[in-house]
């Protein structure tokens, strides 16, 4: 009889093996995180209480979570949230799950902001905002910044707005626009920073992505034949939406940084710089628009691309 009781320890061990057999990447960790979501507890509690039996109700919820994860649904979709910078963002099937690399892009821009505008409001545009992770974080950390988040997906914008409403006083300084890249943005409105983590996976590579990533919206991933479609479109139009002195900042896919930097220079941006991510992959491209010439913004580019 005792054997049929599912204790915390027993169910974690069972789930770990089940996930392992399926090929889920972090089997034990995911088993524990999902159980914590059901029991609304910290992971440490699982170890303290490992003989605690689960109720029928808890088991039913947990089984459903395990089934979903076993089908490679991203953990963040099951939990409905993902940590990014110092906040928790709501996420769902309409939004990409924000990545740790993208935090590096945000950190670079936090360092850049004071160079671009020492007084008053820094105005920031985020193209392809998804969950709003980039623009909402920037506004949360920069109390004098104002921002606009753009996406083609209404469902993503609903989520981004919910995140803006929930985090600090961001909602008073942010606007959202449904737009195909710049199409709905008047050129009269100028920004100091334009940032984008656009879809950048080459279309032909999507079928080979991890099963988890393939459950994210294809409109968030597909960057056209060579993955560079959005960089071409954004670099072509960015300068006219910028103040005379401005910074264009991109996250890019593997092996794309040089090509994207070249697109920026071709579009008239004076200087470009590249920053690597935690894995040593060239992951971010920055380009300055300036009327000052010479070495203007050299210090800024050095500082924002410095390795940790
Ligand atoms: N900024 C978020 C982040 O870093 O986590 C999401 C980035 S996701 C890679 C790209 C986003 O671009 C998606 O939210 C997608 O809906 C949006 N997108 C795709 N095509 C677009 C278009 N033509 N115009 C505007 N946004 C677009
Ligand atoms: N970072 C995503 C990945 O890991 C790609 C997101 C994008 O296309 N910008 O595949």
What are the pLDDT tens digits along the chain (308 aa)?
445 799 999 999 999 999 999 999 999 999 999 999 999 999 999 999 999 999 999 999 999 999 999 999 999 999 999 999 999 999 999 999 999 999 999 999 999 999 987 677 899 999 999 999 999 999 999 999 999 999 999 999 999 999 999 999 999 999 999 999 999 999 999 999 999 999 999 999 999 999 999 999 999 999 999 999 999 999 999 999 999 999 999 999 999 999 999 999 999 999 999 999 999 999 999 999 999 877 889 999 999 999 76
Closest C-alpha to ligand 1, atom 18: 128
- Protein residues with CB under 6 Å of any ligand 1 atom: 96, 98, 102, 127-131, 133-134, 150-153, 156, 180-181, 197-199, 219-220
Q: Assess whether the C-beta atom of 99 lies below 6 angstroms from ligand 2.
A: yes
pLDDT, position 152 = 98
Report strand pairing: 282-289 vs 271-276: antiparallel
Kindly give the distance from the C-alpha atom of residue 197 to the centroid of ligand 1, in angstroms, as a whole number. 7
Measured in angstroms, how far is the CA atom of residue 102 from the centroid of ligand 1? 13
Q: Is the CB of 97 under 6 A from ligand 2?
A: no
d(CA 160, CA 186): 21
For the Cβ of 221 lying below 6 angstroms from any atom of ligand 2, the answer is yes
Rounded to whole angstroms, the Cα distance separating 267 from 97 reads 31
User: For residue 10, with 0-12 CB atoms within 10 Å meaning exposed, 13-18 middle and 19 or more buried, which class applies?
Assistant: middle
Tokens linked to 266 = 């071709």
Q: With contact defined as beta carbons under 8 Å apart, do 283 and 257 qualify?
A: yes
Question: 196 CA to middle of ligand 2, Å?
Answer: 12
Residue nearest to atom 5 of ligand 2 (CA): 221
The closest alpha carbon to 220, from 107, 86, 91, belongs to 91
Task: Please identify which residue in the block is written with the tokens 């909602």.
Answer: 171
Fill in the DSSP letter of residue 222. B
Give phi and psi for 82, each to the nearest 5.
-150, 135
Separation of alpha carbons 286 and 83, rounded Å: 25
Name the residue among 261, 278, 234, 301 with its Cα closest to residue 99.
Answer: 278
The Å distance, Cα 209 to ligand 2 centre, comes to 10
Residue nearest to ligand 2 atom 10, measured at CA:
213
Asked if residues 149 and 174 have their Cβ atoms less than 8 Å apart, the reply is yes
> Which has the closest alpha carbon to 190: 264, 143, 268, 247?
247
Asked if residues 125 and 193 have their Cβ atoms less than 8 Å apart, the reply is yes
Q: Which of 102, 101, 112, 111 is nearest to 136 (CA)?
A: 102
Q: Is the CB of 146 under 6 A from ligand 2?
A: no
Atom 1 of ligand 2: nearest residue by CA position: 99
Total-model pTM: 0.96
Distance 278 CA to ligand 1 centre (A): 22
Separation of alpha carbons 137 and 168, rounded Å: 10
Counting from 1 in the atom list of ligand 1, the atom nearest the Cα of 153 is 16
């Amino acid at each position: 009889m005792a054997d049929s009781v599912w204790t915390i320890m027993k169910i974690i061990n069972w789930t770990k093996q089940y996930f392992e057999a399926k090929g889920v990447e972090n089997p034990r960790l995911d088993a524990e995180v999902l159980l914590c979501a059901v029991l609304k507890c910290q992971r440490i509690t699982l170890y303290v209480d490992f003989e605690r039996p689960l109720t029928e109700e808890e088991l039913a919820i947990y089984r459903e979570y395990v089934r979903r994860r076993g089908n490679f649904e991203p953990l963040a979709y099951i939990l409905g949230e993902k940590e990014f910078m110092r906040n928790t963002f709501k996420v769902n099937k309409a939004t990409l799950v924000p990545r740790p690399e993208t935090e590096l892009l945000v950190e670079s821009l936090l360092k850049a902001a004071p160079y671009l505008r020492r007084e008053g409001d820094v105005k920031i545009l985020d193209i392809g905002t998804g969950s709003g992770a980039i623009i909402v974080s920037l506004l949360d950390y920069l109390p004098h910044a104002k921002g606009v988040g753009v996406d083609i997906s209404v469902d993503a914008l609903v989520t981004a707005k919910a995140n803006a409403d929930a985090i600090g006083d961001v909602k008073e300084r942010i606007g959202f626009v449904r737009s195909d890249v710049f199409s709905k943005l008047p050129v009269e409105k100028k920004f100091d920073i334009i940032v984008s983590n656009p879809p950048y996976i080459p279309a032909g590579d999507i079928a080979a992505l991890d099963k988890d990533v393939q459950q994210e919206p294809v409109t968030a991933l597909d960057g056209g034949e060579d993955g560079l479609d959005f960089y071409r479109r954004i670099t072509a139009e960015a300068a006219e939406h910028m103040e005379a002195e401005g910074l264009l900042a991109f996250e890019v896919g593997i092996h794309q940084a040089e090509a994207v930097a070249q697109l920026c220079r071709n579009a008239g941006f004076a200087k470009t710089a590249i920053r690597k991510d935690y894995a040593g992959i060239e992951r971010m491209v920055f380009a300055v628009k300036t009327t000052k010439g010479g070495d203007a913004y050299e210090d800024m580019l050095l500082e924002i691309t410095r390795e940790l």
